[in-house]
A = this chain, B = another copy of it.
Amino acid sequence: MSALSLKKNPELLQKKRLRIINKAIKLFIKNGYGETSMRDISKATGIDLSNLYNFITSKEEILFLVFEVLHEPAVELFDKYQISEIKDPEEQLRTAVFRLAEVMFEHKNETLLLYRESKALPKKYLSIILEREKKLVERLEEILERGMKENIFLQEDAFFRANLILFQLTLYPIRSWNLKKYSKEELLKMSTECVMKSVISDPQRSRLIQSQ
């Protein structure tokens, strides 16, 4: 069909992989990872069962790739929005948290899968995932620590708080069944502000900054 074959054209391979991943996400969400068969994925993608294995090496890898789809933008957002350039810790944290919330919202399904199905991953993949999660926590931890030093954030265990923040942000993906009544904008705002309020030492100052 095309002059460029898969092996010589990695983009095409990526495209097919993405098609597989996206269909797989839907199936995993709907029926669970374990309950989704490779036959289902084959049917959904229109790619012959045996042919699937030209693009991925195993069902487990598909799950791993699904998680990458989520993690990539979460990690990259720190660069994309130049988080580390922001001087004011409060603004820095608020931006990071808001953008993270956004990514989580947009990848609500992948996030849910991450929490629900990551135990299906073989260690090889799982440790990569956990490592990335730790990296995210560290980023937040750094921001928090600077803010605490400057007395803008409350003095507390920065590592625990960083974990809690990241976790809080998955509230909607995990419990959307009880939060249907909120719009995306409401959710992002509430999520961000809940985080900020619990961290800020002087609410007065905060209100000033926000209204700038």
Q: Is A19 an interface residue (CB 8 A)?
A: no
**Chain B neighbourhood of A182, CB < 8 A:** 160
In the complex the two chains form, what is the Cα distance from A116 to B112 in whole Å? 9
Residue among B137, B167, B194 making CB contact with A161, cutoff 8 Å: B194
Q: Is A12 an interface residue (CB 8 A)?
A: no
Binary contact track A122-134/B, C-beta < 8 Å → 1, others 0: 0000000010011
Binds B, one of A91-99, A171-179, A204-212: A171-179
Query: Are A178 and B194 in contact, CB atoms less than 8 angstroms apart?
Result: no
- Which label, helix, strand, loop or mixed, suits the secondary structure of the A interface? helix
**Chain B neighbourhood of A190, CB < 8 A:** 156-157, 160
Query: Are B194 and A179 in contact, CB atoms less than 8 angstroms apart?
Result: no
In the complex the two chains form, what is the Cα distance from A163 to B119 in whole Å? 25
Q: Is A6 an interface residue (CB 8 A)?
A: no
Query: Are A178 and B137 in contact, CB atoms less than 8 angstroms apart?
Result: yes
**Chain B neighbourhood of A194, CB < 8 A:** 160-161, 164, 198
Query: Are B177 and A130 in contact, CB atoms less than 8 angstroms apart?
Result: yes
In the complex the two chains form, what is the Cα distance from A137 to B168 in whole Å? 16
A141 to chain B, nearest CB (A): 11
In the complex the two chains form, what is the Cα distance from A156 to B163 in whole Å? 24
**Chain B neighbourhood of A179, CB < 8 A:** 160, 163
Residue among B35, B120, B167 making CB contact with A171, cutoff 8 Å: B167
In the complex the two chains form, what is the Cα distance from A119 to B197 in whole Å? 33
Query: Are A133 and B178 in contact, CB atoms less than 8 angstroms apart?
Result: yes
In the complex the two chains form, what is the Cα distance from A14 to B198 in whole Å? 44
- Provided the pairs A115-B116, A133-B178, A197-B154 are in contact, do residues A163 and B171 lie with their beta carbons within 8 angstroms? yes
Query: Are A32 and B130 in contact, CB atoms less than 8 angstroms apart?
Result: no
